[in-house]
Amino acid sequence: MPEHPHVEIVRQGYDTVNNGDTDALAELIAENVVWHVPGRSSIAGDYQGRETTCAYFDRLHELTGGTYQTELHVAVGDDEHVISVDHRFARRNGNIYDENGLVVFRFRDGRIVEAWQISMSPYAHDAFFA
């Protein structure tokens, strides 16, 4: 059974983030996207709009010296949502960030309009990005 086209968009999104290519990421997300990052760290919050969301991903790479990577394990989806399971890794200030996570993506007109990142180790996430 072929993958839903939205799953392929999510796969492309993971590649663009890993490559630090926010120009390519911008093509996959809606102008009015809302990206939710949980927690209380310096990067937590709701990023509203394409420019702000792309700046968030640029900041991830800046904070980690370009080491932030996400390995997509599985993604399933339909006409409105894709849910992905991934592994996240980065280095920063001598510390290592190494955890699994989920992202729930909502789509409209073939673009990501909203995403909720979910950390399996929220305290570790907050501590690493404090």
Q: Tell me the pLDDT tens digit for each residue of 8-22.
A: 999 999 999 999 999
Residue reference for tokens 């790479």: 61
117: its two tokens: 């990142």
Distances (CA, A) of 40 to 43, 45, 120: 8, 8, 15
Tell me what pLDDT residue 41 has: 95
- In this structure, the dihedral spanned by the alpha carbons of residues 51, 57, 62 and 64, taken in order and rounded to 10 degrees, is 170
pLDDT score at 2:
80
Q: Kindly state the tokens that stand for 47.
A: 């990023």
pLDDT (mean) for 74-83: 98
Closest CA to 16 of 51, 62, 63, 57: 57
Sheet architecture: strand order including 81-92: 45-48, 29-37, 111-119, 95-108, 81-92, 69-77
> What band does 59 get if pLDDT is binned at 50, 70 and 90?
very high
Query: Dihedral of CA 109/111/113/119: which sign?
Result: positive
Cα gap 83→77, rounded to integer Å: 6
